């Protein structure tokens, strides 16, 4: 159980939910509003969350959410009084506790409701039999770092080894996490930002340049102006030709007419990162540059 | 009677062992080509064995590993457990641990399906 002795903690930032966790607890399953963390030894923590609809009053919405979440995920749970250290760590949330038991695990969990964002989260901690003493030290620290809404108008994202910051109006649209390839697509009203990450770069770039690798990508803007900052950083920008007729059509159509794409090789991390922005109107250059700058590989 | 499936923890503690019937050929590119006898369905192998014609039907198949597959193959030394192979592979390519785990397990499972490796359980 290396994670017990592991003093390293890292963060998870996923779709408005943020918390710190022992580095050894890794994501084993991920959904839009769902995370399961575990180690080689089995599951450690599960979290799911939902927001109440705007049409429902916050108090009723939270109550409905609590019932729905509990019904869906924990039909056999019984009420449980959380330890004072757990409650203290979550003093800004309305909390209720529950527990469950099966042949291999004991589970303790909390339902948290936030008065600020009207989001309800269900967190479960799994313990193997016999109960693990170290859990008591880990859970309060993890819970005290828990946040379910951003503190400003920027939303941070940190899962697996990538970290990014985007304006809060960019909502997650699609995502894929495959060995060697990660992509997350965000969209706002008129813009779409897609983040990409490939690894290991040493294998993908063996015998070829970054520009050659980029040329093989499906979304590579072939007919575009290319700016090569250096051998490890290339940028393309594409504007559809701008006649009156095209401009008129671009206003009517839902298709994109601007694309900006930055790809960079991070040799010290053995990764390739890319940001692709697609929009009807040219994307704000400072926004694109800030997103590209904030998009990074987390320290190991 | 079929033995019960291993738990995830137990499976990670197993030692992958190469099939002694396979041949490996190191190519100029550094990649490895494995020649292995085709695995037959047990019922079909049983019939052939009774007819004493198993050798005639057992074809030799070839599998070329890419550079990552070759890396994992080199780590299958008959001593290292699956977990140790995952850790070494992750370190070798600076991979995120979960990413290394998924790809190594997938690869070993594929080798096992083809009968190229077997899994040895550590008995305490």
Domain ranges for chain A: 2-144, 154-297
Q: Give the class (CATH, top level) of A154-297.
A: alpha beta
Mark which residues 135-154 of A lie under 8 Å from B by CB: none
Chain B nearest-CA distance from A88, in A, is 32
Interchain proximity A160–B106, CB inside 8 Å: no
The answer to whether residues A70 and B37 touch, using CB atoms and an 8 Å cutoff, is no
Residue B33 covered by a domain: yes
Q: What domain range is B17 assigned to?
A: 8-120
Contacts of A206 in chain B (CB under 8 A): 67
CATH code for the part of the protein at A2-144: 3.40.1000.10
B96 in contact with A, Cβ within 8 Å: yes
Quick check: B95 contacting A, CB < 8 Å?
yes
Backbone angles phi, psi at A130, to 5 degrees: -75, 160
Give the predicted TM-score (pTM) of the model. Answer: 0.85
Q: How far is A194 from chain B (nearest CA, A)?
A: 21
For residue B3, being part of any structural domain is answered with no
Query: Chain B: residue nearest A1 by CA?
Result: B9
CB within 8 Å: A26 and B9: no
Domain count, chain B: 1
Residue by residue, DSSP assigns chain A as -HHHH---EEEEEETTEEEEEETT-EEEEEETTEEEEEETTEEEEEEEEEE--TTS-HHHHHHHHHHHHHHHH-TT-EE----HHHHHHTTTSEEEEEEEE-SSEEEEEEEEE-TTT-EEEEEEEEEESSPPTTHHHHHHHHHHT-BSS-SSSEEEEEETTEEEEEETT-EEEEEEEETTEEEEEEE-SSEEEEEEEE--HHHHTTTS-HHHHHHTSTT--SSSEEEEEETTEEEEEEE----HHHHHHHHHSSS--EEEEEEEEEGGGTEEEEEEEEESSPPPHHHHHHHHHH-EEPP-
- Comparing alpha-carbon positions, the chain A residue that sits nearest to B84 is A40
Residues of chain A positioned with their CB less than 8 A from the CB of B68: 200, 203
* Matching fold, domains A2-144 and A154-297: yes
Residue A41 to residue B68, Cβ atoms within 8 A:
no
Note down pLDDT in tens along chain A; length 300 residues: 444 555 789 999 999 999 999 998 999 999 999 999 998 888 899 999 988 766 666 566 666 666 666 665 555 677 888 888 888 888 888 888 888 877 777 888 888 888 888 888 989 998 876 666 567 789 999 999 999 999 889 999 999 999 999 999 999 999 999 999 999 999 998 899 999 999 999 999 998 999 899 888 887 766 667 777 788 999 988 876 666 666 666 565 556 678 899 999 999 999 999 999 999 888 899 999 999 999 999 987
Q: In Å, how far is A106's CA from the nearest CA of chain B? A: 18
Backbone angles phi, psi at B12, to 5 degrees: -70, -20
């Amino acid at each position: 159980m290396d994670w017990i002795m592991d003093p390293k903690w890292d963060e998870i930032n996923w779709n408005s939910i943020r918390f710190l966790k022992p580095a050894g607890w890794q994501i084993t399953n991920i959904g839009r509003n769902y995370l399961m963390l575990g180690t080689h030894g089995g599951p450690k923590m599960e979290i799911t969350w939902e927001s109440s609809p705007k049409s429902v009053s916050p108090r009723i919405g939270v109550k409905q959410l609590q019932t729905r979440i509990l019904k869906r995920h924990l039909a056999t749970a019984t009420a449980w009084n959380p330890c004072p250290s757990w409650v203290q760590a979550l003093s800004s949330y309305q909390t209720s506790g529950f527990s469950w038991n099966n042949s291999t695990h004991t589970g303790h969990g909390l339902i948290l409701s936030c008065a600020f964002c009207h989001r309800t989260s269900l967190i479960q901690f799994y313990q193997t039999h016999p109960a693990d003493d170290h859990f008591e030290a880990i859970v309060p620290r993890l819970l005290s770092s828990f946040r379910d809404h951003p503190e400003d108008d920027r939303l941070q994202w940190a899962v697996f080894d990538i970290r990014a910051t985007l304006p809060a109006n960019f909502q997650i649209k699609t995502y894929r996490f495959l060995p060697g390839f990660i992509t997350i697509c965000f969209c706002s009203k008129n813009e779409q930002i897609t983040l990409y990450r490939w690894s290991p770069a040493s294998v993908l770039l063996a015998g070829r340049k970054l520009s050659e690798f980029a040329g093989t990508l499906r979304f590579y803007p072939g007919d575009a102006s290319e700016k090569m900052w250096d051998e490890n950083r290339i940028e393309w920008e594409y504007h559809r030709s701008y006649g009156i007729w095209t401009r008129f059509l671009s206003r009517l159509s839902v298709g994109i007419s601007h694309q900006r794409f930055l790809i960079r090789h991070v040799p010290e991390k053995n990764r390739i990162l890319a940001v692709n922005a697609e929009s009807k109107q040219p994307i704000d250059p400072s926004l694109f540059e800030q997103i590209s700058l904030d998009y990074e590989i987390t320290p190991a | 009677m079929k033995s019960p499936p291993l738990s995830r923890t137990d499976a990670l503690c197993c030692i992958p062992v190469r099939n002694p019937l396979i041949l490996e050929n190191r190519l100029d590119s550094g990649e490895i080509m494995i020649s292995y006898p085709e695995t037959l369905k047990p019922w079909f192998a049983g019939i052939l064995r009774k007819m004493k014609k198993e050798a005639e039907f057992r074809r030799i198949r070839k599998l070329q590993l890419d550079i990552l597959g070759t890396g994992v193959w080199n780590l299958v030394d008959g001593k290292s457990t699956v977990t140790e192979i995952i850790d070494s592979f992750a370190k070798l390519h600076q991979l995120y641990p979960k990413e290394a785990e998924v790809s190594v397990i997938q690869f070993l499972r594929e080798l096992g399906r083809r009968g190229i490796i077997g899994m040895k359980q550590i008995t305490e």
